[in-house]
Structure 1
Amino acid sequence: MRQPSDARRQRILAVVRSRGAARVADLAEELQVSIVTVRRDVEELARAGKLRRGHGVARSLLPVESPGAPASVDGGAVALMVPERHTYLYETLHGARSALEDAGLRIVLHIVPKVAGAERPIVERALAEGVQGLLIAPRWRTLAEEEDAYGWLARVDLPIVVMERRPRRGSALHAADSVCSDHWYGMQLAVEHLLSLGHRRIVLAARDDSPTARVLRAAFAEIAAARLEDWTIVLSAPGAGADPDEEPPEFASVLRSRRATAAILHGDEDALMIVQQLAEAGIRVPQDCPVVAYDDVVAALGSTPLTAIAPPKAEVGRVAAELLLERLARPGAWRPRRIELLPELTVRGSTDRLTD
């Protein structure tokens, strides 16, 4: 028998007040109604000032009534740490910000400078400020820096979620909560798109100064070895390597020497610069060399808008924030989660079919 809307909303309000917070999906299951119906009820209750609505969550405005229920996290502060001048991770930051602000938490933003080991003292300062949790996207320029950070980050006595990084399996940080794009899948999308257009001789120009870059290089090598006739990996820009003094080769010369017919370029700004260099060398995109960029932050803004792989940057931040919020609300019953989100391919004007 269908419940009257007023009675259903009273039940929703009672559940939310007793628990402090409840997911819309869980409420729909318990009340045996659709998620759309519950979402509409929650919106109406929020407009009436009876609860607070977040991303897929309804939160109580009153203290938790049950002594055994999860505590409310409203009114506290969360530290959010990202590297300086990193446009990709700034999108992740904004995704996390909306979820945290909807939950009533204050955000304490820390910008980490481009200095090896800079994260640790900033994390220690954040702990001293009394934050409730930590969202962190470490720079980890080299693999050695990444390995060094595992131990001390694992000892942080605070709920922590690592964003857009996947700690090595078996490391001290393996059991930490983390939310990351599936970059192996993203590279597969790029290669498969070019293969579908007839290209089997592909060059990857990629950075080598972040965990994402290292995953992309390894993924391309694995996929290319199985699917391509010829391939190679080169550095995409000066200062983009683990050794900041390493210089990239002249890209047009690489294409000609390998008889490559297409390229994958990481990241966007480097990709736009390489396309300009190719034009100066008389190599047209896409007529002579189709290009797929990886990141899709500014890829669409080139004189030829670049086909690009778009990791779900903002969604990574949002999901990481929601994961932290859920952990804060359930301090005594938590199992760490490693979440991967899938990138998408956006086809624009920089790729075309191979011609004889």
Structure 2
Amino acid sequence: MREPVELRRQRILAVVRSRGAVKVSVLASELDVSVVTVRRDVEELARAGRLRRGHGVARPVGPVEEVTVPAARAEEPGRDGGPVALVVPERHSYLYEAAYGARPVLEEAGMRIALHIAPQAPGAERPLVEAALAAGARGLLIAPRWRGAVSEAADYGWLSEVAVPTVLMERRPRPGSALHALDSVCSDHWYGTYLAVDHLVALGHRRIVLAARDDSPTARSVRRAFAEIAAARPEVEDWSVVLSSPDAVPGPDHDDGTRLGDAPRDRTPLDLAALLTERRATAAVLHGDVDALMLVQRLAEQGVRVPRDCSVVAYDDVVAALSSTPLTAVSPPKAEVGRAAAELLLHRLARPLDTAGPVRRIELLPTLKVRGSTQPPASRPTPGEN
């Protein structure tokens, strides 16, 4: 899914403000778009007075809050306070949709927004939050990357001490941790996984593989839920969990050494066709979307037809519909998570601390988008066969 133009331009402004002069070619590489696209964005931003343009270079013109808010809105009523800091991971289209959902709610309430993009490095969110607070941020919406348990625990201490109202998006801290009593909005990924398994079982599939990532809270929730749900369904005769991609693990800077499922730590690509044959599986749930599209392409190259030979349900629904065979997908309410988080933050900001009420942990249910990648199996193994 193409990133919204204004969100991409906000990211350009955030990078330029944090680093100073940045080459257009560097911005294009980091944003994963063409140089022509970035050059056009820089020209429009310069025309609006939000940055300065040089020969192949973009330069800042003012502090973060000045360059992250459109000038036409800066004088509207209610815009005399500090901005709301919105912190999301770099190159994470799923959470960009959540951020995009939060924006109209905050702007409608007269709140200015400072978008901060956290690079793919351990502890990247903390300096961004500290800088935002130093610049006068009045509230914080944040979705930490949390690739593993170690990186998650490392954020508990400082994030629990942030001195402004804070809401977590798509993150549910460990029970009993310092962040357990922090406002949060999250998709119910157990229910999303249930929708995928239930759909396949209803079609008659009895042997199902989950190929999933293991480098985010969502990935770990999906893996746990699949194992629990598949084991509890008497109709499911065989199931297994493997890594959807060799780079889908937390990595040496994040990992705590724990594993979920039975996937080996292996750098070779998953041979899904061979696994389906080995397990005599007729269906697969694939997390996330990009990995799902690549695995489906690889199946086609090996002569496995989707859905005739194997039904596929993707998880995330960011680009699943763009596959050559549009993929049935679990669709978490991404934009709605952002909207609910923004509304929860506004509730906190509008009231003194002693009258804001109890901490709220909101869960929103995903939906299942049935497309062309699932159908009843061509043949069903005899119950009890090995």
TM over 0.5: yes
TM-score (norm 1): 0.78
Measured in 1, the distance between the counterparts of 2:219 and 2:120 equals: 17
Aligned counterparts of 2:284 and 2:318: Cα–Cα separation in 1: 18
Counterpart contact for 1:184–1:219, Cα < 8 Å: yes
| Pair 1:224–1:74, CA change in 2 (3 A) | farther
Q: Distance in 2 between matches of 1:291 and 1:74?
A: 51
Kindly report which structure 2 residues correspond to 1:94-133, keeping only aligned pairs within 5 A, or say none.
94-133=100-139
Unaligned 5+ segments in structure 1 are 1-60, 63-71
Paired with 1:162 and 1:145, the residues of 2 have a C-alpha distance of: 16
Aligned pairs (5 A) from 1:71-220: 75-220=81-226
Unaligned segments of structure 2, at least 5 residues = 1-75, 253-264, 380-386
Q: CA-to-partner distance for each residue in 1:242-277, whole Å, 9 max, x for gaps?
A: 237842431111111111110000111110100000
Instruction: Give me the whole-angstrom Cα distance separating, in 1, the residues matched to 2:364 and 2:93.
Output: 19
Structure 1: which 4+ aligned runs deviate by more than 4 Å?
Answer: 72-75
Letter of the 1:167 partner, please give it.
P
Structure 2 CA distance for aligned equivalents of residues 340 and 73 of structure 1:
31
Conserved? CA contact 1:74–1:103, under 8 Å: no
**Does the Cα contact within 8 Å between 1:292 and 1:308 map onto a contact in 2?**
yes
Go from structure 1 to structure 2 and tell me whether the alpha carbon gap of 1:246 and 1:107 turns closer, same or farther (over 3 Å shift).
farther
Paired letter, 2:158: W
Q: 1:73–1:329: 8 Å Cα contact kept in structure 2?
A: no
Find out whether 1:315 has 2:336 as its counterpart.
yes
Q: Matches of 2:182 and 2:85 in 1, distance apart? A: 16
Query: 1:1-356 residue pairs with structure 2 within 5 A?
Result: 75-227=81-233, 228-243=236-251, 246-247=266-267, 248-332=269-353, 333-334=355-356, 335-356=358-379
Residue 67 of structure 1: aligned partner: none
One-letter identity of the residue aligned with 2:246: P
For 1:91-130, what per-residue CA distance to the aligned partner results, in whole angstroms no more than 9, with x for missing partners? 0010001111111111000000000111111111111111
Matches of 1:287 and 1:91, distance apart in 2: 33
Kindly provide the amino acid, as one letter, of the partner of residue 185 in structure 2. Answer: V
Contact 2:79-2:112 at 8 Å conserved across structures: no
CA offsets 1:300-337 (integer angstroms, 9 cap, x no match): 01110000000000000000001000100012312210
Amino acid at match of 1:97: R
Q: TM-score, length-normalised on structure 2?
A: 0.72
User: In structure 2, what residue type is equivalent to 1:241?
Assistant: V
Q: CA deviation at 1:354?
A: 1.7
User: Following TM superposition, by how much is the alpha carbon of 1:339 offset from its aligned partner in structure 2, in angstroms?
Assistant: 0.3
- Structure 2 distance, partners of 1:302, 1:186, is 20
Query: Shift of the alpha carbon at 1:355?
Result: 2.4
Alpha-carbon contact 2:312-2:374 (below 8 Å) kept = yes
Deviation at 1:149, TM superposition (A): 1.0
Q: In 1, are the aligned partners of 2:246 and 2:270 still within 8 Å (CA)?
A: no
Match of 2:251, as an amino acid? Answer: D
Provide the aligned length of Structure 1 versus Structure 2.
287
SS of the equivalent of 2:117 reads: strand
- Work out whether residues 141 and 168 of structure 2, in 8 Å CA contact, stay in contact via their aligned partners in 1: yes
